[in-house]
Amino acid sequence: MNETINTILRRRSVRCFRPDPAGQSELEAILDAGRYAPSAMNQQPWHFTVIRNPELLRKLEENCKTAFLESSVEALREIARQEGFCVFYHAPLMVIISGDPGAIAAQYDCTLAMENMMLAATSLGLGSCWTHAVMMFQATEKGKAIFRELGVVFPEGYQPYAAAVFGWPAEPYPETPLKKTDCITFLD
C-alpha cells in the first residue's frame, strides 16, 4: 500500500467543520489537483467558482436546502427536516465546478476534477463533502434565478456539474461505513 491509496481509502465525507478557512496555499493545491484531472479530448470544459464569502454561503445554503426539502427522495427530505440541518455543514468554503454542456463529456470531466480535489484536500488534512443540493437546486427555474440574483454566475452557457464544501474537520474523521464487497465480476 502506498500513500496515495491510503489517502483514497481514508477519505471520508466530513460534515462538521471549523469556521476558519483553508489557507491560500492549500486552496491552490486543491484547485491544481482539479485542473489536472483527465477530460475527454483534453477539452478541460470546466470553470471553478470558489465561494468563501460567509454571507453568500449562508444565503446559498438556505436556498439549496429547499432542493432537499422538495426532493422526490424521502431520505433527503427527512435529513433536511432535521432541526439545525445545514446542507453545507457550515463549511467556510465551497467550490462549484461548472462545465460546458456542449463538450464531449462535461459532467464526467467536472466530476473527475472534483474527486481529485477531495483527495487532495484529504491529503492535506482537510475535509470535504460532495454537495449534490447545488446541482439539484440549479436544475430548477427558481434555482437558476436565485443563483443569478446572488451573483453566483458561471461562464456563458456553462452549468454546474459538481459541487463540494471544504474545511478543517472539527472532529476526528468519522468511521468508514461498510463498503459492499459483492460488486465485482471477472470476465477472464
Give the footprint of its own copies on this chain (CB under 8 A).
Answer: 1-5, 7-9, 11, 13, 29, 31-33, 35-38, 40-42, 44, 46-53, 56, 73, 75-76, 104-105, 107-108, 111-112, 114-116, 118-120, 122-124, 130, 132, 151-152, 162, 176-177, 179-181, 183-188
The least CB distance from residue 172 to its own copies, in Å, is 18
The least CB distance from residue 142 to its own copies, in Å, is 20
How many other CB atoms are found less than 10 A from the CB of residue 155? 13
On whether the CB atoms of residues 55 and 88 are closer than 8 A, the answer is no
Which one, 3 or 20, has the nearer CB to its own copies?
Answer: 3
Which one, 50 or 145, has the nearer CB to its own copies?
Answer: 50
- What does the alpha-carbon distance between residue 2 and residue 16 come to, in Å, rounded to a whole number? 28
Which one, 38 or 144, has the nearer CB to its own copies?
Answer: 38
First and final CA of the chain: distance in angstroms?
25
- What does the alpha-carbon distance between residue 97 and residue 27 come to, in Å, rounded to a whole number? 14
Which one, 91 or 152, has the nearer CB to its own copies?
Answer: 152
The least CB distance from residue 183 to its own copies, in Å, is 5
The least CB distance from residue 178 to its own copies, in Å, is 9
- What does the alpha-carbon distance between residue 35 and residue 142 come to, in Å, rounded to a whole number? 30
Which one, 64 or 114, has the nearer CB to its own copies?
Answer: 114
The least CB distance from residue 127 to its own copies, in Å, is 12
On whether the CB atoms of residues 119 and 125 are closer than 8 A, the answer is no
Which one, 8 or 145, has the nearer CB to its own copies?
Answer: 8
The least CB distance from residue 88 to its own copies, in Å, is 14
3-state secondary structure of 115: helix
- Residue 20: exposed, middle, or buried by beta-carbon count in 10 A (0-12, 13-18, 19+)? exposed
- What does the alpha-carbon distance between residue 169 and residue 182 come to, in Å, rounded to a whole number? 32
